[in-house]
Amino acid sequence: MLGQARYLCVIGRARLVPSWFAKVHPTTGTPLNATIVLGICQASIALFTELDIVIEMISIGTLLVFYLVSNALIFRRYVILSKNPPLHTLLFLFLLSSTSFAFSLSWKFKLHWWNLTLFAGLTFFTIVIFQYFVPMVVMQRQESWLVPFMPWPATISIFLNVFLMTTLKMVAYKRFGIWTCVATIFYVLYGVHSTYHAEEILEMIVVDNVNVNSSTQQIITKVDIQLV
């Protein structure tokens, strides 16, 4: 929750929210307006909301983000960088999430031990088969750092995030769904149009600067010719 002010400042610069949130303090360089607004909102939520509800809301959002980032990491390494067909990687990610979800539900509802063994084994062999049959290009550039031992770190992250998300109560998913709908509606009605408008203004500024520079260069050239 402490880092949300900087996130709000960045998306304010992109005009996904009012640019007023992007204002920073002239001395410290910290996001002033975003910190004040979020501080008031977070203090109000902490004052009038039960701690369990706050913890679950924060947990489900964080776990979902980590889950999506891990999937994106595998897709980037095996499809974008290694130039493999996306179908194999997408199928692997689907199977990995499915077996992880099945294992997590078996653990949550305390099913027979062979269910846990079966789904854990399927998860492990899915990763091994993917690593063996789908090639990955090893980057030789020393200046770029990449996650080592792929795909194991990302797949373990996916498994753990799915497992932890299944431990949350159903009411947490309902609250998260409501907030997601509210954020989506705000993005469609405000963020999309504001972002395009900001890009148009930026393009106009760039064109004006180019025209001014061209005019200035022409004037300087004429003055030089007259002096000669």
Query: Helices 152-165 and 113-133 sit at what angle, rounded to 10 degrees?
Result: 150
- DSSP class per residue in the chain: -TTHHHHHHHHHHTTSS-GGGG-B-TTT--BHHHHHHHHHHHHHHHHHS-HHHHHHHHHHHHHHHHHHHHHHHHHIIIIIIT---HHHHHHHHHHHHHHHHHHHHHHHTT--HHHHHHHHHHHHHHHHHHHHHS--PPP--TTS---SSTTHHHHHHHHHHHHHHTTS-HHHHHHHHHHHHHHHHHIIIIIHHHHHHHHHHHHHHHHHHHHHHHHHHHHHHHHHHHH-
Task: Give pLDDT, residue 55.
Answer: 80
- On the question of pLDDT at 84 being above 50, the answer is yes
What residues make up the domain containing 179? 173-228
The answer on 125 and 67 residing in a single domain is: yes
The answer on 203 and 179 residing in a single domain is: yes
The answer on 96 and 2 residing in a single domain is: no
Task: Give pLDDT, residue 197.
Answer: 62
Q: Could you tell me the pTM of the whole model?
A: 0.73
Cβ burial of 123 (10 Å; 0-12, 13-18, 19+) is: buried
Task: Give pLDDT, residue 129.
Answer: 92
The answer on 94 and 13 residing in a single domain is: no
Mean pLDDT for the stretch of residues 148-159? 90
The answer on 83 and 1 residing in a single domain is: no
Task: Give pLDDT, residue 5.
Answer: 81
39 contact partners, CB below 8 Å, separation of at least 6? 5
- On the question of pLDDT at 163 being above 90, the answer is yes
Tally of structural domains, the chain: 3
Specify the range with the lowest mean pLDDT, choosing from 47-51, 115-119, 180-184, 198-202: 198-202
The answer on 1 and 42 residing in a single domain is: yes
The answer on 84 and 66 residing in a single domain is: yes
The answer on 85 and 41 residing in a single domain is: no
Task: Give pLDDT, residue 222.
Answer: 45
Mean pLDDT for the stretch of residues 93-118? 88
Mean pLDDT for the stretch of residues 111-130? 88
Q: Residue 42 CA to chain centroid, in angstroms?
A: 22
Kindly report the average pLDDT of the chain as a whole number.
80
- On the question of pLDDT at 108 being above 60, the answer is yes
Cβ burial of 211 (10 Å; 0-12, 13-18, 19+) is: exposed
The answer on 76 and 9 residing in a single domain is: no
The answer on 152 and 58 residing in a single domain is: yes
Task: Give pLDDT, residue 90.
Answer: 93
Percent of the chain with pLDDT over 70: 81
How far is 219 from 214, CA to CA, in rounded Å?
9
The answer on 154 and 88 residing in a single domain is: yes
The answer on 131 and 96 residing in a single domain is: yes
